[in-house]
Structure 1
Amino acid sequence: MDEQAKRQRPTYSDEFKRDAVRLVVEEGYSFKSACAAVGVCDATLRAWHAKLAPPPEPCGDDATVEEMRAEIARLRKQLKRTELEREILKKATAYFAKEST
């Protein structure tokens, strides 16, 4: 087998990716078990999940304390990521504005 054939990554259909994500989202599989079931690595499945999984439903007024804590943790993580992305965009904007003058 030549060197290029060894490095070639497998390609997966969109349907396969959606089905793999569905195992985690709807069927309750852990990422580890879903990875084993479909034969992909954890990072690959997590990337597909980030792109294809529907956003979680917000807690209602009748949510338990544990559900509220989980939502707060999720929202804090999302906020931190969004703030980081905003900072990157601000720096990129300043850089390109400087380059165009």
Structure 2
Amino acid sequence: MADRQSDEFKRDAVRIALTSGLTRRQVASDLRIGLSTINKWVKALSEEASADDPDQDLLRENERLRRENRILQEEREVLEKATVFFAGQKR
């Protein structure tokens, strides 16, 4: 028998999925719900919110920028490690 989640839990899960910068798979795992469940909630609540929330474009842009920022930080860490490695090879 499936657990029934409250509307507040669903709204919070969707908010986290859309604004945290985590993948939906990570959010679903953290909240102990299925990936298809979180996708269904995001679709349903996003459609509902799009009619009510004129800032939806800002939320999407924020999500994209968080993802881009995370990738750039990871790339910088790799380059820093490579710099240390190659600096040690010259000696």
Give the secondary structure class of the aligned counterpart of 2:10: helix
Q: Which has the higher contact order (CA 8 A, sep 6+)?
A: 2
Structure-1 residue corresponding to 2:30: 37
Give the secondary structure class of the aligned counterpart of 2:42: helix
CA distance in 2, matches of 1:12, 1:48: 11
Structure-2 residue corresponding to 1:46: 39
Q: Structure 1: which 5+ runs fail to align?
A: 1-7, 59-101
CA distance in 2, matches of 1:38, 1:51: 18
Please give the TM-score of this superposition, normalised by the length of structure 2. Answer: 0.50
Q: Structure 2: which 5+ runs fail to align?
A: 51-55, 59-91
Please give the TM-score of this superposition, normalised by the length of structure 1. Answer: 0.46
Q: Which runs of 4+ in 1 moved over 6 A?
A: none
| Higher normalized helix content (fraction of residues) | 2
How much is the aligned-residue C-alpha RMSD, in angstroms? 1.7
Give the secondary structure class of the aligned counterpart of 2:38: helix
